[in-house]
Amino acid sequence: MPRFVILSKTLADGVREPADHPDLHSLPDEVEALGGKVVDQHVLLGEHDVCTIVDVPDAGAAHLLTTVGHSERVMMPAIDLPLFKRLLGQSAETVGPFRWQVSLPARAARRVLRAHAYTNPVRKWCHPLTVLGRENFDGLRGPAVFISNHTSHLDAQVVQQSLPRRYRSRVAMAAAADRFFVKGRKGITKSPAWNSLAYNMFPIKRGGGRGALEHAEWLLSRGWSIVIFPEGGRSSGGKLARLRVGPAILAISQQVPVVPMYLEGLAAIRPKGSRAMQPGPVTVKIGAPLYFDTATDPADATHAMHKALTALRDEVHRPVRSLDVRTPTLSPA
């Protein structure tokens, strides 16, 4: 999630001690309500009173934190130093999408690469892989938008392997343009063209507005389905972040169903920030398709998607009642 630094100056009367500053207590709750988290807080000795470092889903959520009655807040986007140095060493220019990736030759090549790209990684790291709710695919025909929570680099592979066979060869994966489609990346397996060929990825620009959805709309209009992670980045702690509105716009404009899928267990296989991986159990819970008519407000549709994913999460996390197994009492002979 994007990181921001918030500098606060109190406007409330009667605040005499730094520990009494309202933002030390209220701001963490505000951030959590938006699906973010407070990384750190400091009391300042200067023009401002409190410095709060936060991670929030997007700039829109960050803007909501600037409107408050008891404090004057200054917000600044931030980036950690290692990532900043890495970005300095690469081009900011992105490429794609490539329309050739849905051609017959590309589909034939992808069929050959499927084991390398999807099947083998899932078999190696996800065992057992349990898929629940497959019956929700039974009545599904034609293009659809598959949405899922995002906790791991293996999410796309697991979603793809959980789909019915009739969808696996005609589904494209939405991916962050600034991560997977950067121009000039070294190594064929890191190049944007490889991601499009092997994984059928296409780029979506973060914060790109309606224009970022043009290729997805083009795919859906031609009978292709798409997989998209509406949180916009990997979440942590088992809590769903606020969803982006893009999938709702696609579902409403193209009149296609949205199928929610909740993934559990993948974060433990490769924790966020770690390169080490270890096999573990993974559960996929598939929900009933969601349909929205053309008059639906995208915000309402997005809320319905969040509610559906949350319900699936709660079902996966629901404890299984232990069986009441009693030892039989032997009667004396």
pLDDT of residue 331: 41
Residue 51: beta bridge partners? 7, 42
DSSP symbol at 241: P
What the block records as the tokens of 193 is 């063209």
Q: Token pair 């916009």 is at which residue?
A: 232
Please report, for the domain that includes residue 311, its CATH number.
3.40.1130.10
* Residue 91 counted as domain residue: no
* Domain count along the chain: 2
* Residue 206 counted as domain residue: yes
Quick check: 227 and 161 in contact, CB under 8 A? no
pLDDT of residue 22: 83
pLDDT of residue 332: 43
HSE (side-chain half, CA atoms, 13 Å) at 168: 19
* Residue 332 counted as domain residue: no
Pair 106, 74 in one domain? no
Pair 123, 81 in one domain? no
Pair 226, 307 in one domain? yes
Tell me whether residue 182 is exposed, middle or buried, using C-beta atoms within 10 angstroms of its C-beta: 0 to 12, 13 to 18, 19 or more. buried
Q: Token pair 């993934």 is at which residue?
A: 263
- Among 86, 119, 154, give the residue marking a domain's end: 86
HSE (side-chain half, CA atoms, 13 Å) at 290: 27
* Residue 328 counted as domain residue: no
How far, in Å, CA of 308 to CA of 260, rounded?
A: 7
- Closest to 126 in 3D by CA, of 273, 274, 270: 270
pLDDT of residue 15: 59
Pair 12, 69 in one domain? yes
- 97 prior amide bond cis, ω within 30: yes
Pair 76, 219 in one domain? no
Helices (H), 152-234: 155-162, 165-168, 177-180, 192-199, 214-221
HSE (side-chain half, CA atoms, 13 Å) at 262: 22
- Among 44, 60, 86, give the residue marking a domain's end: 86
Pair 113, 226 in one domain? yes
* Residue 323 counted as domain residue: no
* Residue 148 counted as domain residue: yes
- Please report, in tens digits, the pLDDT of each residue of the chain (333 residues total): 788 999 988 876 655 676 778 888 888 888 888 888 899 999 988 888 889 999 887 777 777 887 777 778 888 888 878 767 766 666 568 888 999 999 999 999 999 999 999 999 999 999 899 999 999 999 999 999 999 999 888 999 999 999 999 999 999 999 988 888 888 777 888 899 999 999 999 999 876 667 789 999 999 999 999 999 999 877 766 678 889 999 999 999 999 999 999 999 998 998 776 778 899 999 999 999 999 999 999 999 999 999 999 999 999 988 654 444 444 444 443
Residue 76: beta bridge partners? 5
Which residue range(s) make up the domain with 60? 3-86
Output the pTM of the full model: 0.72
